[in-house]
Structure 1
Amino acid sequence: MNAPLRRVGIVVMVLFGLLFVNLNWVQAYKADEYRTSDYNGRVQVAEYERKRGIIEAGGTPLASSRETGGKLKFLRTYPKDELYAHVIGYKPVNMAATGIEKSENEFLAGTSDQLFGDRVRDLFTGNQTAGGNILLTLSPRAQETAYRELTENRRGVTKGAAVALDPTTGAIQALVSMPSFDPNPLADHDTEQAQAAYDKLDADEDGPLKNRALAETFPPGSTFKVITSAAALENGYTPETRIPAGSSYLPPTAGTPIRNAASSICPEAQVTLTEALTESCNTGFAQLGVKLTADVLKAEARQFGFEDDELAVGRLNDGGQKVAASRTGEMTAPGGNDDPPQVAQSSIGQNNVRMTPLQGALVAAAVANDGRQMRPYLVQQQLGPDRTTDYYTAVPRQLREPVSAEVARQLQEMMVSVVQNGTGTNARISGYRVGGKTGTAETGGNSDDHGWFIGFAINDDGKPVSAVCVFLEAAGSGGSAEAARISQQIMRAVIADRGGR
């Protein structure tokens, strides 16, 4: 064999070798990824051979499938339209699934290893057993109240979010993001129409596809004063400790003084810590934060869940919808020392502090639950196609313990004072111990201030029944009072769902 042919032969052998290696790589390492890809058309067609399981809450179907008689045998439908969209998500034909439809896809589709026995039985019976069913923690009454009150708010706000959860378990009772969207067009079997519907939503400047409750962060304003208060209580202060206040405060090296929202708010030289929280005293908390230092504030915020990059909401034992990490941001000067103006602003929830509405609810829940913060979750049960076989039931578990029981009870009393005597009176519920904190967050530029409320309701037996956070984006003056009113309505719905008054 001459040299040129020998070289060609070697090249061909090398190419065959590389092809062989690549095929083995695909078979051994990439096959499962390609098989389960949302864009694998054959797999998707096969999925539509089997009726997808139901997603429900409180006996109310939220996602189900109906027979079409077409090539794709079952069409996914969402009977509540926009009401649960950011929780349920959607399951399209040629696009990526979202929400519970994504995180519980294999169980709903019947392809999960948990349902292997059903598939083996189908081989002998010739049936196509439906997928498994998902039962959520949501209270339909609370969810529908949250959606209605948000979308019909008295400030004319078009963007916001609401989250309510059980402080003793972490079970999410309501989760709404506004504006919402109708997932039904996105699940249409006409993929061109489904893509057009998605493109329209994606281009909407109000961002209806954004999950503002879980995946977006915003400056929390004065709701962060609960964390600053907790830091003080854990570092030698008491609710009756008097702190510097006054009508204005100029932090060292600052060019602009910090003032209170009104001249009537803590004009005194000193106020108690309880009075400062009740009145939402900016000057008091700004000076308190500078004295505590940035490191103390940051550490306290981390104890409540800030900087948590791992949290997801779904099942307690696996995955779910990713939650954006809340952040305290930078508070240091170029040399590494505390920057007093930044620390002062951060102490009142401004500067670079950012928080998700879920995080706000978790802060309130930890205070209500004597310092124990439970891991939030949405999936209560996985039931088999026959609805009798229980493959999973949530067993609540603690996420962290931000503060001691003693400090939590002190914070409870301080937050109750906010609702009874201060800025949160719209959240009062007769017969229940309600605590909370309003927040007005400056956004900079020409945008109106955000309105916040975080709070909790505790029954006569001393058991927390709900913790809530309501966020109204660019709500302007009166936004926090409206957020408190909406929070009260959501907590009342939870109470009614439990047979209370």
Structure 2
Amino acid sequence: MNKPLRRLWVISLVMFVGLFGSVTWTQFFNAAELNADSRNTRSLYREYGTNRGPIVVDGKEIVASTPVNDAFKYQREYPYGALYAPVTGYYSIVYSPTGIERASNEYLNGTSDSLWLNRIEHLITGADPQGSAVELTIDEKAQRAAYDALGDQRGAAVAIEVKTGRILALVSKPSFDPSDLAGHSSKEVVEAYEKLLADPGKPLVNRALAGDTYPPGSVFKLVTTAAALENGMSAETEIDAPDTYRLPGTTTDLRNFGGSQCAASGHMSLANALRISCNTAFAALGNELGEEELAKQAQAFGFEQEIQVPMSAAISRYPTGQNDAQVAISAIGQQDVRVTPLQVAMMSAAIANDGVLMQPYLVDRVRTADLSVVSETKPQELGRAVSSSTARQLTEMMVGVVENGTGTSAQLSGIQVAGKTGTAETGGDAAPHAWFTAFAPADDPEIAVAVVVENGGTAGSEATGGRVAAPIARAVIKAVLDQ
């Protein structure tokens, strides 16, 4: 072979190797990236051309796919509109899916590894691929009760089955209709999404799980009380309850709600301090316990943990590295303490469950089109939040809150309810957030609830947790226990 031919051969070989390597890299190593590229319409049509599985609540399809006569083949439908939006999320041709649509996507579109047998069956029979049904833990009556009771107020409600961690209700308001984002016109979907983004009520924010976390106010006194009981105090232990409490190292006096007096003697039992939600008593108690014990107890209830239900919840925080004045304010759920409604519901559920904290979850089971179960969630313990003795004492104290304390609006005829109110200052001139958390029946708990109403809802600056949030929790509890 002469020299020019050898050069041509070498150049051709190099070009062939380069072309082969480039194609291999593109088709194999970059496959996932290319499939995920929003400009890849072939991937988009393939994804939407699959008969996506339904999302089910109490045997009813709250999300389903219907055959249509366009390039996408199926239309995702949400017949209940805004009621379940914080749970289901949306499935869009323009935007990434959210909620269960995202968290359970591999089951819904049939690509999960656990569904390999079904895919082989479809391949052999020539049947169109079909996703699996995702059955949720949501109780329709509890969900609707929470949704209706919140009305037009901004806020959230979460209900948990005490012994298992099953989430029975998860409501965030204002909500939105996922159907507006599931259409097959990109222009209309983008317009609907931008309108929702511009809405000052922030309907796309899931306030129950992963929105902006809230100052908990006096519902955090459950954590402070638990820390006191775990450190040797009892419900009858006398603690300081002055008319005002001088924050350590400052010239600032902390007062009770409305400037009220907790006890003429300046002392009261821990149980009575919780019953009337005495700020000065709990601020002083917080300093007596110290930051380390409060942080330890908060973490035992689930603070600082990543919780997935399967959607990821925002992490609830108890700050450390504070001075004594900040510790006092943190002990009453202010300063930089921040929580989700889910976290507050978990606290009540742990107390109700003899002190054991359960993993909350939304997906009960997954079924194929032939009703075979391919996945089922089993209750899982996250750890012990408090001892059995502490849980019993806390229960009795929370019953006192509802029977003749700040939470009387949560009373139910013939059913003993254990609860705690909260009114959380938000800074500036904004009205406080109204909180209530509870469980019932107190003697054999089934359901735990947490409710937050932003900036006092319709009551505005006149709001308290007992007045605004407790009736909402009561409605949810009643809906579950009346079944």
TM normalised by structure 2 equals: 0.92
> 8 Å contact 2:45–2:72 — kept in the other structure?
yes
Identity %: 44
What is the deviation of 1:254? 1.8
Residue type of the alignment partner of 2:475: Q
> 8 Å contact 1:60–1:140 — kept in the other structure?
no
SS state at 1:433 partner: coil
- In the alignment, which residue of structure 1 is the partner of 2:77? 77
Residue type of the alignment partner of 1:35: N
Q: Deviations over 1:363-387 (max 9, x none)?
A: 0000000000110000001000122
SS state at 2:446 partner: strand
- In the alignment, which residue of structure 2 is the partner of 1:173? 168
- In the alignment, which residue of structure 2 is the partner of 1:3? none
- In the alignment, which residue of structure 2 is the partner of 1:225? 221
- In the alignment, which residue of structure 2 is the partner of 1:480? 465
Distance 1:305-1:23 versus aligned 2 partners, 3 A rule: farther
Tell me how far apart the structure 2 counterparts of residues 19 and 235 of structure 1 sit (CA, whole Å): 71
Deviates more, 1:60-69 or 1:444-453: 60-69
> 8 Å contact 1:129–1:385 — kept in the other structure?
no
* 1:87-486 correspondence to structure 2 within 5 Å: 87-152=87-152, 158-216=153-211, 217-262=213-258, 263-308=260-305, 310-313=306-309, 320-332=310-322, 339-387=323-371, 389-458=372-441, 462-475=443-456, 476-481=461-466, 482-486=468-472
Tell me how far apart the structure 2 counterparts of residues 201 and 383 of structure 1 sit (CA, whole Å): 33
Tell me how far apart the structure 1 counterparts of residues 20 and 303 of structure 2 sit (CA, whole Å): 49
> 8 Å contact 1:266–1:279 — kept in the other structure?
no
Tell me how far apart the structure 2 counterparts of residues 116 and 151 of structure 1 sit (CA, whole Å): 45
SS state at 1:322 partner: coil
Q: Deviations over 1:188-231 (max 9, x none)?
A: 00011011101110121211100000013110000000000000
> 8 Å contact 1:331–1:346 — kept in the other structure?
no
Distance 1:131-1:265 versus aligned 2 partners, 3 A rule: same
What is the deviation of 1:465? 0.9
Tell me how far apart the structure 2 counterparts of residues 495 and 298 of structure 1 sit (CA, whole Å): 34
> 8 Å contact 2:164–2:379 — kept in the other structure?
yes
Q: Deviations over 1:157-176 (max 9, x none)?
A: x3100000001000000000
Tell me, which stretches of 5 or more residues in structure 1 are unaligned? 1-5, 153-157, 314-319, 333-338
SS state at 2:97 partner: coil
> 8 Å contact 2:228–2:289 — kept in the other structure?
yes
Distance 1:290-1:200 versus aligned 2 partners, 3 A rule: same
Residue type of the alignment partner of 1:496: D
What is the deviation of 1:345? 0.4
What is the deviation of 1:120? 2.0
SS state at 1:65 partner: strand
> 8 Å contact 2:55–2:61 — kept in the other structure?
yes
Tell me how far apart the structure 2 counterparts of residues 33 and 470 of structure 1 sit (CA, whole Å): 41
> 8 Å contact 2:432–2:463 — kept in the other structure?
no
> 8 Å contact 2:435–2:452 — kept in the other structure?
yes
What is the deviation of 1:48? 2.7
> 8 Å contact 1:247–1:268 — kept in the other structure?
no
Distance 1:416-1:203 versus aligned 2 partners, 3 A rule: same
> 8 Å contact 2:295–2:320 — kept in the other structure?
no
Tell me how far apart the structure 1 counterparts of residues 187 and 473 of structure 2 sit (CA, whole Å): 40
Q: Deviations over 1:67-104 (max 9, x none)?
A: 11111111000000000001000111121000001111
> 8 Å contact 1:424–1:437 — kept in the other structure?
yes
> 8 Å contact 2:63–2:77 — kept in the other structure?
yes
Deviates more, 1:168-177 or 1:101-110: 101-110
What is the deviation of 1:40? 4.2
Residue type of the alignment partner of 1:436: G
SS state at 1:237 partner: coil
> 8 Å contact 1:161–1:357 — kept in the other structure?
yes
Q: Deviations over 1:276-304 (max 9, x none)?
A: 00010000000000011111111110111
Distance 1:37-1:60 versus aligned 2 partners, 3 A rule: farther
Residue type of the alignment partner of 2:454: E
Deviates more, 1:118-127 or 1:432-441: 118-127
Residue type of the alignment partner of 2:449: V
Q: Deviations over 1:218-273 (max 9, x none)?
A: 10000000000000011111110000012110022122111111324334311000
Q: Deviations over 1:447-497 (max 9, x none)?
A: 1011000110026xx431100000000003234122011001001111123
Residue type of the alignment partner of 2:463: G
SS state at 2:123 partner: helix
Deviates more, 1:174-183 or 1:427-436: 427-436
Residue type of the alignment partner of 1:477: E
- In the alignment, which residue of structure 2 is the partner of 1:317? none
TM normalised by structure 1 equals: 0.89
Tell me how far apart the structure 1 counterparts of residues 16 and 392 of structure 2 sit (CA, whole Å): 72
Tell me how far apart the structure 2 counterparts of residues 362 and 25 of structure 1 sit (CA, whole Å): 48
Tell me how far apart the structure 1 counterparts of residues 256 and 160 of structure 2 sit (CA, whole Å): 32
Residue type of the alignment partner of 1:468: V
Residue type of the alignment partner of 1:111: T
Residue type of the alignment partner of 1:446: D
